[in-house]
A = this chain, B = another copy of it.
């Protein structure tokens, strides 16, 4: 049985959604859960749910990383945090994967340095799924694990992203593209122009450059970029979505007729919101580290936690790390130091 270590103290509302999501996951996904955190709090929270017979255990961790902790402080000073302990469970083989909705930078640092990178990987990459207009999913990576990437790193991101996409979404030959500012090979910056040439020579289904708006139109499955760019793209898309939702709400509450209209269309809004809700996706895997790590949004609800556990389970089941090792080792591309 696959065992998932859940950092139960990480998210904005921890440990409530972490515990509830874990109970659902244990029941529905057939996985064993190690809930890592302050035992008293976890016991209290767990008592609120019927969990008799489910393979859920509490593993104590005395410290909690907050959203305000800097990644380096959290990594170096809070060695008995729930994120550290969950990661250690993976390193020692007691768990197959870590799931956390905690401080993204801190969890990445703990996973990267606590677990180490796969032997053929220079830098891990955080891969964020986006919903597309065609009802599918596009994965953008790296969205924040690295900045100032080299062309060879983007090639590794492409390979890792493609393997992840195949494992989670079942597409046999996902289309891979570079995020740039024009479709032509010559468009972009020094990094993308150099990476373009290397990707063209790879065995990937590389379709060339795509622009920012193509993330959402379903024309491509795996999109690679430097982590600085990817993080900006991720935050901009969150910002626009929040902004539009707020303005729409305000507009709909402005008159009696629009309010009535809203009441009548409520179901439509609900289905609309579900479509753009990150909770359905669960989280972003940190690809390239030894041991599966999935990082959820800080405001993850129980559904998001359950789905993050599902993603982690599928990555373990799909042997994604073994595939990454194998496929990267086979690439005849020069890699900078």
Residues of A whose CB lies within 8 Å of any CB of B are 70, 105, 131-133, 144, 147-148, 179-182, 184, 188-190, 211-217, 225-229, 231-244, 246-248, 250-252, 254-255, 257-258, 260-269, 271-272, 275-276
Q: Nearest Cβ distance between residue A71 and chain B, in whole angstroms?
A: 9
What are 10 A-B contacts with C-beta separation under 8 Å? A147-B181, A189-B228, A213-B239, A215-B236, A241-B244, A251-B265, A251-B271, A258-B264, A258-B268, A261-B263
Contact B248 A272 (CB under 8 A): yes
Contact A258 B265 (CB under 8 A): yes
Task: State A70–B217 Cα separation when bound (angstroms).
Answer: 24
Count this chain's copies in the assembly: 2
Contact B275 A247 (CB under 8 A): yes
Q: Which of B227, B243, B257, B258 contacts A216 (CB 8 A)?
A: B243
Task: State A105–B186 Cα separation when bound (angstroms).
Answer: 13
Q: Which of B179, B233, B235, B255 contacts A267 (CB 8 A)?
A: B255
Contact A235 B213 (CB under 8 A): yes
Contact A268-B246, Cβ < 8 Å, known A216-B240, A229-B232, A233-B233? no
Contact B213 A238 (CB under 8 A): yes
Contact A216 B188 (CB under 8 A): no
Q: Nearest Cβ distance between residue A120 and chain B, in whole angstroms?
A: 25
Contact A239-B212, Cβ < 8 Å, known A254-B268, A268-B251, A276-B244? yes
**Closest B residue to A245 using CB positions:** B244
Task: State A133–B245 Cα separation when bound (angstroms).
Answer: 10
Residues of B contacting A262 in the complex (Cβ-Cβ under 8 angstroms): 261, 265
Contact A231-B252, Cβ < 8 Å, known A133-B247, A247-B133, A258-B265? no
